[in-house]
Structure 1
Amino acid sequence: MSDKLAQAERLTEEQQQQLIEKYDSESNFRRLAGIMSIIVFYGLLAFSIYQLYTATYGNIPTQIHRSIHLGFGLVLIFLLFPASKKSSRTRIAWYDYILAILGFVVGAYWPVMYNDIIAQAGQITTLDFIVGSIAIILVLEATRRTVGLPIVIIAVAFLAYAYWGRQMPGFLIHPGVNVDTLVQSLFFTTQGILGTPIGVSATYIFLFLLFGAFLVKTGVGQYFNDLALVVAGRRIGGPAKVAIFSSALQGTVSGSSVANVVTSGSFTIPMMKRLGYSKNFAGAVEASSSTGGQIMPPIMGAAAFLMVEFIGVSYWTIAKAAIIPAILYFSGIWIMTHFQAKRTGLRGLQKEEMPNKKEVLQNLYLLLPILAMVFYLSSGLSIMRAAIYGIITCILVGLLRKERYRHLYPIVFAAAFVAYIIYGAVTSGISIETALIVAALVTVIVSYFFDENFIDTIQALVEGARTALSVIAATAAAGIIVAVVTKTGLGLSLANSLVDLANEKLLLTLFFTMIASLILGMGAPTTANYIITSTIAAPAIILLGVNDLSAHMFVFYFGIMADITPPVALAAFAAAGMSGGRPIATGVNAAKLAIAAFIIPYMFVLEPRLLLYDIDGNYLHVVWIFITAFLGMISIGAGIIGYWYRKLYIVERLLAVAGGLVLIYPEVWSGITGIIIFAALIAIQYFVKRSEWNVPVKKPSS
C-alpha cells in the first residue's frame, strides 16, 4: 500500500492513544514533564533491570521478592496514574506523593523486617498491623486507578463477607474472621496480596510483557499488518481477512484486547469501510479478532501464566492445549467474514493498494523472536529462561534492521560470546546463558555508536515496566479475594451450591459457570477474572469429574470473551469508536462472529483430547474431531450469515446451524450425522443453483 493511502486511512498516534485511554483504564497514565518525568523514567528502568537480574541470578526469599515487586508497582502507579478523570495528566498531586511514599514503605517492610516476621510465627505486632492495613488500602486504590472500580467493589465485598460471616445466610455462613487475623492473612502470608497471583506477575508475566515491548521495538507490529496484506489482501473481502490475520499475530505483542483493537484497527477498519463493510460489521471483525489474540499461542494472555501455577502444568502444555481451539476460533471468524463478503459482493484490494511482496518476504526475519519463543518453550526451558532468551533474540533481530551496519553485529556478538567463554574457562567457569546475555549486552552497547538500537532497548525496558503496573495491581487485588475464599472455605461452598443448582448436570453447570465468567469479565480484566473464576467456578466443574486443564481453560475462555459480550464489551466499544458504528450493535456483531468461542469450551470439556491432553497416541481421533468441528464452523457460519454458495432460505439457515452443532459435538455418531447434513445442504444448494441456471428464458413478444 502506498504511503499516502496508509497515512490517509490510519488514525494518528494521538487519536489512537485517546481511544485506548477512553476504553482501557490501564493506559490512562500521566504524561509527565520536567524532573518528575526523569525520576519516573529511571524508576521504570530500574524496575525492569531488577526483574531481569532476579530472573537471571537472583536467589531472593519469596516474600521479599514479591514485596519489592509490589512496592515498585505501588510507587510507580501513584506517580503515573491520576486519581480521577478530572485530575491533571501532566502534574502529580500532593497526595499522590504521600501515597507513593507509603507504597515504598509497604514494599520495603518485608525486606527490612523479614527475620522478625518469620520469628513471630504467624503473630503480628501493632506496627505489622498498621503496615498491613495500609498495604490493603493502597492495593485497592492502585487497582481502582489502573484497572477500574468493579474489581475493587468485588474485593471489598469479599472483605466484608470475611468479617461478617456469622450474619451470612444459608450456605454462605461461616464463623467470621477478626480484623487482626484478616490483616495477617492478607499481607503476612503467601496466600493473600503476596500470594500466587502476584508471584506469577513477579516471575513470569513481567518478563513476557518485556518480551512484548521488545517485539514492538523490532517493528514486528507494522510487519504483521504488511504480512497480513500479502497473505489475505487480494482475497474476497480482503481487508476483513487482513484484520483477522494481523490481529491474531498482534495478540503475541499485546495482552490487552482494547490496545490490540486500536493498534491494528487503525489500519484495518478504514480499509473495510472503504470497500463496503458496514460500520458495525467492520468494528465487529476487528473487535472479535483482537480479543482472540489472548488465546493465540505461543504467547497468550497473562492469565495463561497463572494457570501454570494453579494447575501445576508446564506453560508449553497450556500453549499446546490452545492450538486447536485458537485455530477453530479464528477459522470461524474468517469463514463468516468470507460469507458476508460474498453475500454483499465485496472485493479484495487492488494490486496498487498492496505492499511490495518481495520487500515483505525479505523481512521475514522479524518473525524470528516468535519462532524462537516456540522453540524455547517446547524444548523444556523454564518460563523465565525462555522469556530472557526471547528478549535477547528480539535485541539481536532489532540490530538487523539497519542494513548498512548489519554485517557488523554477528561479528561483534560472536566475538563477545567467544571472549566471555574463554574468560570463563580461564577463571571459574560460566554458564552458556551468562555468555549469551553478556554477548547481547556488548553488542547492544557497541550498536549505540552506530544507530538508535541502544535507545530502543532502554525504551522497551521502560514501556514493559509501565505495562506491568496494571497487572501488579490486578493480581494483588485478586490475592485479597483468593485469601478470603481460602480462609472462609467459600470456594468449596460455592462449588457445591453451583453443582446443586445445576442438579449435578454437567452441561447446566458449564452454562452457569459461563454466565458467571462473562459477568465478572465485564468489570474485571482477564487476569483478575480468571483468578476469581478459577477459585470459585472452576472447582464446580472439577467436582463433576472434568480434568483441571479443561475446567481452567473453560473459565479462561469466557473471561476473555467478556470483552466482546454486550452490554459491557470494551473491545467492541473501542472498535465502534474507530468505525463510527453503534457500540451495542458492534458488540452484538462481534459476539456473533466469535460464536466459536461460545461453543469450543464446551467441546474441550466434553472431549479433552481437543486440548492435545491425555491423547494416549490416539491422534486419528483428534484429527477426526478437528475436521468435523471445522466443517461445523463452516455450516454454522453459513447459517448465521445466511449465505453459502447462494443466499440461504430460513429453513436452510436453521438446518445449517443445527447441522453445525451436531458436527461440533465430539462423538463419532454426531460427526457422521453432521457430515450427512452438511453434504445434503451442499447438494441442495448445487441442485437449486443448477435448476435456476437451466430455467428457459422467455423471449419478449414482439
Structure 2
Amino acid sequence: MADRKSDTNQDRKFTDEDLQDLVASSDSGGRVPTSRAVAILIAAVAFFWSVFQIWIADPQFWLAQHIPGLRIIGSDQTRPMHLTLAMFLAFLVYPAFKTSPRGHVPIGDWILAIVGAGCAFYVFWFSRALSDSARQGRLTEWQTADVPILNNFEGLFGTVIYPQVIVGTIGILLLLEASRRALGPALTIVAGLFLAYSYFGTGWLIPELIEHPGRSFSATVNTQWLSTEGVFGIPLGVSTAFVFLFVLFGALLDKAGAGNYFIKMAFAGLGGLRGGPAKAAVVGSAATGLISGSSIANVVTTGTFTIPLMKRVGFSSEKAGAVEVASSVNGQIMPPVMGAAAFLMVEFVGISYLDVIKHAFIPAAISYIALVYIVHLEALKKDMPALGATPSLLRMFLKVAIGFVVAGTAFYGAIWGVNTLRTVAPGVSDPIVLLVVLGLYLGALWVASARADLQMDDPNEKEIRLPVMREVVPTGLHFILPILVLVWFLMVERQSPAKSAYFAVMTMLFIILTQRPIKALMRGEGERFMEELKAGFGDLLEGMIGGARNMIGIAVATGAAGMIVATVTRTPIGTELAGLVEMLSAGNLFIMLLLVGVFSLILGLGLPTTANYIVVSSLMATVVVSLGAQEGLIVPLIAAHLFVFYFGIMADVTPPVGLASFAAAAVSGGDPIKTGFTAFFYSLRTVALPFLFIYNPVLILYGVDLGTAAGMMQAAFVFVTATFAMLLFAAATQGYFLAPSRIWETVALLLVAFTLFVPNFWLNRVQPAFETLPATQFEAALQEAEPGDRLRVIVEGPSFTTGQPTRTTLPVDVDETPPDQRLDQSGLWLMPEDDIVVMDEPMLGTPYADALSGFDFYGTDPVTIAEVQRPADRLPAQVFYIPALLLLAFVIFMQRRRQTKPAF
C-alpha cells in the first residue's frame, strides 16, 4: 500500500503543507510568527474583529433598548474600524515580498501596521468632527510656517496645509501597499492610475474624450479618505455590513466539520457512476462553495481528495485539475451564499439580496448541471470505469425527486406552522419556535451520536470504499440547521442579508461549541464532557480567527476599489466612457459585450473577483444598458451586473495567472497553464450564459413573479428548457453526444441549444415584435393598454455631454392606475406640437428621470418622442422549438447508428 501511495503522489510538486501555505498566502496571509506573543496578538486582534462584526450586526441595537445611554455606532464609524483592523492585520500577516521573513514580523511592518491602522482609526475617532467639516469641504488649516519641516512641501500643499489631508495621504498610500501585499500589484496599479487621473485631469496619456480640469490635492484626498465616497464608500460598507458575517459563517461551518460531510455526501451519491469522482468533485465543490468564498481554498480543500481519485479512474492530471477548478470557481455564483460581489450588487443595483438570489439561481444551477454532464462525456470518451457497482440511474433520480418533494413539503409545512402559531399565540410564538429548533438540533445530534464521527478518507488507499448515503447522512444533519436558518431569514422572514447572516452565525457558534460535549453525553462518555467542551471552545476560537483572517484581503480590496468608484463619480470618465466604448464597438451591443468580457478577463489576470467586479461594473454596467436601449433592446441593470460578475469569476481560471488553476496543478502535478486552458474550455458554459441572459432576460427570471402559480410554472419551464439547452451546448463543445460528433452535428447541436435559449431571435425575423405607432398616439396607447403590458417609447434629442443627436428606448410599464390618470402619474411631461411630441425633463424620483438623464432638455434642439411601440400579436416564440427538436431528433438518429456504448 505504501508503494501505491508513492506511485500516486510522485507527480505532485507540493506537499500538503505547501498547499496550505499557498492557500494562506493568497487568502489569510502566509506569515506564521514563531514568537508566541506575536502569534497571540494577531489571533487576539482577529478574534476581536469577529466579535466587533457580530456586535454591530445586532446586539448593539437590541441592548440599546434595555441599557439607557448605550451609544449605537453607525456606518461612519463601523467602516473605519473595519479597515483599521484589516490594515493592522494585513501588514502583520502578509510579507512585503517573497523573500521577506515568514517567522517574524520586521520592525518596518510593525510601523506600517500601526501607522496604517492609525490613519483609519483617525476617521473612526473623529467621525463626528469630519462629518461637520471635511465631508462638507471645510478643512482645518495649518500654516506651513508654523511647521518648519513642511516648508519643503509648499509646492504640493501651498502655504496652507490641512492635518486631515496629511492623515488621508498617508492612509491612501498604506492602503495601496496593503492591497499590493494581500492581492498582488494589479489593484494597486489600477487604483493609483485612477487617483492620478483624478488629480491631473489632462496629460499625454489621457484621451481628450475623458479630460477634465483636474482636482486639487486636498480635494482629492478629502474625497478619497475623509468622505464616504472613496475608501469608506459603498464597497467597504458592503464588506463591513454583509460580507464579513457570511465569510465568518463559512469559516465556522468548515471548522465544525461540514466540509468533509458535504464531500462524503457527494461521493456517496455520485461516486459509483462512470467518472464518479469527477461528478462528486463538481457537486462537492458546489456544496463547499457555501463554506468557502475562495476559489483557491475550495480547490485545495476538495481537490486534495477528488483529484487523485479522478486520476485513478483515467483523467489526466490537467483534466482532473481543470474539473476541480471549473467547479470551484462557480461556487461564487451559487445561491444562497454567493461571492462578495453579489452583496455589492445589492447596493449598486438597488435590489434586495433575495432578488439577487432569484436572478442568479437558474444560471448557476444549469452551469453546475452542465459541468456534471461534461465530466460524464469525458468519462464516456475515455471509457472510464466506475468505482464499485454502478447504481441504477432511474432509482437515483427517483430518490432525488422524492427528496426534493419531501424537503419542499416540510419547508412549506414549517412556514404554515409558524404563521399559524404567530396568529394563534403571537406573544409566545418566538420562544416556542426557538424550542422547536433546539429540539431538532438535539434530535440530529442524537442520530449522529449513534454513529462514529466522519473521518477524512485517504484517496491513495489501494482499495477505495465509497461512502454509503444511509451511513453518511445521519452523521451531519445538524450542519443543515444553520443553512436552513440562513435561508429562512432571507427568504421567509425577508430580513436583510446582514441580519440573516447574524442569526446563522449565532446558530453556528452554538453548534460548534456544544456538538462535541452533547454527543459525548449521548454516547455515555460523560467523563469526556469537559475535554470535548474545551475542544469545542478551541474550534470556536479557530473559526472566529480564521474567518477574520480570510477577510483581510476582501476588506483592503473593497477599500482600494472605493477609490476607483469615487473617481468614476467625480470625473467625466463614468459618463464619457460610454461614448468611447460605443465608438470602439461601432454602436453594436454584441461587439461591446465582447469588449467588456475581454476587459474583465484582462483585469482578471491581476485582480481578484470582487475588485474586478467593482472596477468593471462601475465603468461598464450602465454603458451596457444605455447602448442596449439605443439598439432597441431593454437590458435590465441586474443582467448587466451579472454579466460583469460572471466574467469576473473567470479571473481565477484565466491563464496565465489564474491562481485556482495553479493551486489545482499543485495538487495534481500537472502543467498549470494547460490546466488553466482546459478549465477555461470547461467553463465555456459560464462564458456563454451572460450573453444569453442579456438577450433573453427571462433566463434570470426577470419579470417573472414567483409569488403566483403562473410565475412558478413559468420559472419551472424556463429551468427545464434552459437545462436541456445547456446540456446540448456542453455536448457540442465536447464534440461528443451519443457518439463522437461530426462537424455538422456539432453545429446542429449548437443551433438547437441557441434556439431553446433564445427562440425570440428567430421569431423576430419572421414577425416584428412591436407595432409602431406615431408619437401623437402615445397617450391613447397608454390608456388602451392592459395592466402588466409594456410600451416602448423611442426618444431622440441632443446628448447632455456632447450635444450630438442620440436616441434611446424607454420602457413604460402599465400598472393598475386608472387609464385616464396613467400619463399624469408616470412623471413624463409631454408637449404635443402638431405632429411632434416634445418632452420636458421627467419628474425627479421617477425611473424615467435616470433613464433620460443623458439628454439635454434645455438646449436649442428639443427632446422628442420619435415613435411608440406596443407588443404585436404574433405566434408564440416556442413554435421554433418544433424545428429545433426535429433537427435534434435527426442528430440522435445519425449518432445512434455509430453509438458503441450506453449514453449513461
Q: In structure 1, what is the equivalent of residue 470 of structure 2? A: 358
Q: Which has the higher contact order (CA 8 A, sep 6+)?
A: 1
**In structure 2, do the counterparts of structure 1 residues 273 and 402 end up closer, same or farther at CA, with 3 Å as the change threshold?**
farther
Q: Does 1:73 align with 2:86?
A: yes
Tell whether the 8 Å contact from 1:30 to 1:82 is kept in structure 2 after alignment.
no
Q: Residues 294-373 of structure 1: matches in 2 within 5 Å?
A: 294-350=332-388, 353-363=465-475, 364-373=477-486
Paired residues of 1:447 and 1:454 also in contact (CA < 8 A): no
Q: 1:122 aligns with which of 129, 137, 141?
A: 137
Identify the range of structure 1 (49-58 vs 212-221) with the bigger mean alpha-carbon deviation: 49-58
Match of 2:183 in 1: 147
Matches within 5 A, 1:440-459: 450-459=533-542
Q: In structure 2, what is the Cα distance between the partners aligned to 1:474 and 1:649?
A: 47
Equivalent position SS for 1:500: helix
Which one-letter code corresponds to 1:494 in the other structure?
L
- Which residue number in structure 2 is paired with residue 30 of structure 1? 32
> Matched residues in 1 for 2:532 and 2:296: separation?
37
Determine which of 574, 578, 584 is the counterpart of 1:501. Answer: 584
What's the counterpart of residue 560 of structure 2?
Answer: 477
Instruction: From the superposition, tell whether residues 406 and 516 of structure 1 become closer, same or farther in structure 2 (CA, over 3 Å).
Output: farther
1:37-436 → structure 2 map (5 Å cutoff)? 37-58=39-60, 59-120=72-133, 121-125=136-140, 126-167=162-203, 168-350=206-388, 353-363=465-475, 364-379=477-492, 380-398=494-512, 399-401=514-516, 404-405=519-520
Contact map agreement 1:16 1:263 (CA 8 A) in 2 = no
Residues in 2 aligned to 1:504 and 1:26: alpha-carbon distance in whole angstroms: 44
Contact 2:33–2:105 (Cα < 8 Å) also in 1: no
CA contact (8 A) 1:332 1:594 kept: no
Q: Is this contact kept in 1: 2:229–2:562, CA < 8 A?
A: yes
Separation in 1, partners of 2:470, 2:613: 43
Distance 1:13 1:450 in 2: 29
Distance of aligned partners of 1:513 and 1:386 in 2 relative to their CA distance in 1, 3 Å threshold = same
Cα distance in 1 for partners of 2:593, 2:530 equals 54
Equivalent-residue separation in structure 2 for 1:641 and 1:166 (angstroms): 50
In structure 2, how many angstroms separate the alpha carbons of the residues matched to 1:448 and 1:606?
A: 59
Q: Per-residue deviation at 1:223?
A: 0.7
Q: Which entry has the higher C-alpha Rg, 1 or 2?
A: 2
Residue of structure 2 in register with 1:547 after alignment: 636
Q: Residue 573 of structure 1 aligns to a residue in which SS?
A: helix
Aligned to 1:614: 703
Residues 567-606 of structure 1 correspond to what in structure 2 (within 5 A)?
567-606=656-695
Q: Deviations over 1:557-600 (max 9, x none)?
A: 11002221223322122212211222222112111211111111
The corresponding residue for 1:18 is 21
**Which range moved further: 474-483 or 114-123?**
114-123
Contact kept in structure 2, 1:604 and 1:611, CA below 8 Å = yes
Give the structure with the higher percent helix.
1
Cα displacement (A) at 1:640: 2.5
Structure 2 counterpart of 1:562, from 651, 657, 665: 651
Offset from partner CA, 1:374-395 (integer Å, 9 cap, x none):
2221020121221111112223
Q: How far is 1:447 from its partner?
A: 7.3
Amino acid at match of 1:362: P
Q: Once the 2 structures are TM-superposed, how far is the Cα of residue 26 of structure 1 from its aligned partner?
A: 5.1
Structure 1 residue 76: Cα displacement: 1.2
Using the TM superposition, name which of 475-484 and 362-371 deviates more.
362-371
Match of 2:796 in 1: none
CA 645–449 in structure 1, closer or farther in 2 if over 3 Å, else same? closer
> What runs of 5+ residues in structure 1 fail to find an aligned partner?
409-445, 694-702
Q: Equivalent residue of 2:387, what SS?
A: coil
Task: Report the number of matched residues.
Answer: 653
Contact 1:295 1:301 in 2 (8 A): yes
CA distance in 1, matches of 2:73, 2:515: 36
Cα-Cα RMSD: 2.6
Counterpart of 2:515, as a letter, is L
Which residue type is aligned with residue 164 of structure 2? D
Q: CA offset at residue 681 of structure 1?
A: 1.0
Separation of aligned partners in 1, 2:615 and 2:881: 36
Conserved? CA contact 2:31–2:92, under 8 Å: no
Deviation sequence 1:56-114 (CA, Å, 0-9, x none): 13421322221111111111111111111111111011111111121232132123323
Q: Do the aligned residues in 2 keep the contact of 1:517 with 1:555 (CA within 8 Å)?
A: yes
Counterpart residue type for residue 470 of structure 2: K
Task: Quote the offset at 1:624 in angstroms.
Answer: 3.9
SS in 2 for 1:191: coil
Q: Shift of the alpha carbon at 1:540?
A: 0.8
Whole-angstrom distance in 1 between the partners of 2:621 and 2:713: 30
CA contact (8 A) 1:30 1:81 kept: no
Kindly state the Cα deviation for residue 670 of structure 1 after the two structures are TM-superposed. Answer: 4.9
Alignment match, 2:799: none
The answer on whether the counterparts of 1:325 and 1:600 sit within 8 Å (CA) in structure 2 is yes
CA contact (8 A) 1:19 1:574 kept: yes
Equivalence for 2:889: 679
Report deviation, 1:407: 5.3
CA distance in 1, matches of 2:702, 2:6: 44
Report the equivalent of 1:634.
727
Q: 1:552 to 1:606 in 2, by over 3 A?
A: same
* 2:614 aligns with one of 531, 537, 562: 531
C-alpha distance in 1 between matches for 2:508 and 2:674 = 40
Q: What do residues 356-387 of structure 1 show as CA deviations (whole Å, max 9, x unaligned)?
A: 43320212332222232222210201212211
Against the structure 1 CA distance between its residues 447 and 479, is the aligned structure 2 distance closer, same or farther, given a 3 Å change threshold?
Answer: farther
Work out the CA distance in 1 between the residues paired with 2:897 and 2:692. Answer: 33
Contact 2:201 2:213 in 1 (8 A): yes
Please tell me the residue identity of whatever aligns with 2:49.
F
| TM-score normalised over the length of structure 2 | 0.69
The alpha-carbon deviation at position 524 of structure 1 amounts to: 0.6
User: Aligned equivalents of 2:7 and 2:503: distance in 1?
Assistant: 35
After superposition, the Cα gap between the structure-2 partners of 1:8 and 1:584, relative to the gap in structure 1 and judged at 3 Å, is closer
Q: What is the distance in 2 between the residues matched to 1:623 and 1:566? A: 37
Contact between 2:274 and 2:376, CA under 8 Å: does it hold in 1?
A: yes
> Offset of 1:397 from its aligned partner?
3.6
Whether the 8 Å contact between 2:605 and 2:657 is mirrored in structure 1 is yes
Please give the alpha-carbon distance, in whole angstroms, between the structure 2 residues aligned to 1:689 and 1:137. 64
- In the other structure, the counterpart of 1:665 is 758
Q: Percent identity?
A: 37
Quote the Cα distance in structure 1 between the aligned partners of 2:654 and 2:754.
Answer: 21
For the residues of structure 2 that align with 1:368 and 1:56, how far apart are their CA atoms?
21
Q: Are the counterparts in 2 of residues 328 and 596 from structure 1 also a CA contact under 8 Å?
A: no
Query: Take 2:521 and 2:684, find their aligned partners in 1: how far apart are those partners?
Result: 46
Q: Secondary structure at the match of 2:558?
A: helix
2:202 is paired with a residue of what secondary structure?
helix
CA deviation map 1:321-369 (0-9, x unaligned): 2110011111121111111101111122126521243320212332222
Quick one: distance in 2 between partners of 1:119 and 1:389?
A: 35
Aligned CA distance change for structure 1 residues 384 and 21 (closer, same or farther; 3 Å): closer
**Counterpart secondary structure, 1:507:** helix
Aligned residue for 1:537, secondary structure, equals helix
